[in-house]
Amino acid sequence: MKTGKVDVLLGLQWGDEGKGKMTDYLAQKSDVVVRYQGGNNAGHTITFGGQRYALQSIPSGIFSPKIKNVMANGMVINPKAVLDELQKLREMGITDYQLFISDRASVVMPYHIELDGAYESLKKGSVIGTTNKGIGPAYADKYNRTGIRIGDLLHKEYLRERLDDAISLVNIQMRVLRRKRYNLHTLCEEYAEYGRLLSPYICDTSRLLYDEVKKDSRILFEGAQGVMLCIEHGTYPFVTSSSPATISVPLGTGIPPKYIDHSLGICKAYNTRVGSGVFPTEITNSTAYYIRDRGNEYGTVTGRPRRIGFLDTVALRHACRISGIDSLAVMLFDVLSGISELRICTHYELNNKTIDYVPSTIYEYEKCKPIYMNMPVWSEDISACRSFDELPENAKYYLKKIEELTDTPISYVSVGPDREQTIEVKKLNL
């Protein structure tokens, strides 16, 4: 059997790397775009034609009628949020699209959102900085085998049985937490209606994707958040509740790993982080304000100002290794034009020793001090550059240094928010 071209696109930092733009850019060459983990805690922004579009749950290929957009089984899906997002697309004139939602994906229920906030409020010192979208509790119920799945919404009586078991446990927690209790009949009616409204989109997406592979279709898997937020390999416990790493694609979609051809890692030309957690290269001076202002560094979902730092290639090497990254896309490169101070972190200092790895515990990671390499700056506006050769020499040097320090080639450089403001550094078969 001849297989299709199957590629994975994922973030390598603490999320917000610009994945939406690159997914949109590469989706123009794809037949299928797939979300394989996370939920509506993953904001991604796409800009084209001078218009800005913010998405959360729905894959980034939704703006092209020819692309099949798949929300796969590894996601946790808030049906109301999906319907609201589709309504916003209609209001923007986006009505011609193909959307497929896995019947095996887990459902985010209102009590998950309630518990999300409650759990955070009870923590004394290790507040995660969750988006309060109910993602963590939904994944917890999935693995506790008490969760509701999208396919359950299509069968009202079965949904009632599943909810009866779930709510009995939930209301015990709510009583202890002194939060509102949930009514079985009300929830059943509400979510059965969501099932009815979403029924045209619900199917076995693993079969759909396998059929697309057999047809030699071009498939693009779109990761949410970033590898440094991975539940397995990120800065635990300040992480998300799923893994965006390439290895999660087979489990989150039902497509065997042998069909994956290329992993494209997305990173900013600097570092940002939203919420709590270790951040070795964080800066709070005028350079940070300069980057935040030029890069519009505010959370797509939360609106919170993002923490700013110089590029950390220790963490970047870690993320590349974990996900078997074949090439990089460097985003928001234009933000660095005109900056007065520019550094790259090459190693950490831990207990008076130089290390080149990410410690497994926050206890050690918080003690790490960045070891920097000072980089030459450039003042030229690069937003109109469309080739590597057009970039200023110091900008070229910065990119070459990233390749050298990560041992990974750069294939794309973004010099602005529009899909046309993208430089293909190396021609890859993507």
Residues labelled catalytic: 16, 44
CA distance 362 to 22: 31
81 sits in which H/E element: helix 79-91
The neighbour count for residue 272, using CB atoms within 10 Å, is 25
Residue 285 is classified by DSSP as S
Which residues are paired to 142 by β-bridges?
A: none
- Closest CA relative to residue 412, chosen from 133, 25, 100: 25
Structure token pair of residue 173: 């927690």
The b-or-e profile of 87-101 (16+ CB within 10 A means b, else e) is eebeeeeeeebbbbb
CA triplet 52, 37, 1: central angle to 5 degrees?
105
Residue 306 is classified by DSSP as P
Residue type, 1: M
Structure token pair of residue 230: 């991975």
168 sits in which H/E element: helix 156-177
CA distance 187 to 193: 10
Structure token pair of residue 158: 């079965």
User: Peptide bond before 237: cis, by omega within 30 degrees of 0?
Assistant: yes
Q: Are 74 and 252 in contact (CB under 8 A)?
A: yes
CA distance 283 to 214: 49
Q: Are 153 and 160 in contact (CB under 8 A)?
A: no
By CB neighbour count within 10 A (0-12 exposed, 13-18 middle, 19+ buried), where does 154 fall? middle
The CA–CA distances, whole Å, from 244 to 56, 106, 240, 254, 378 equal 15, 17, 9, 15, 34
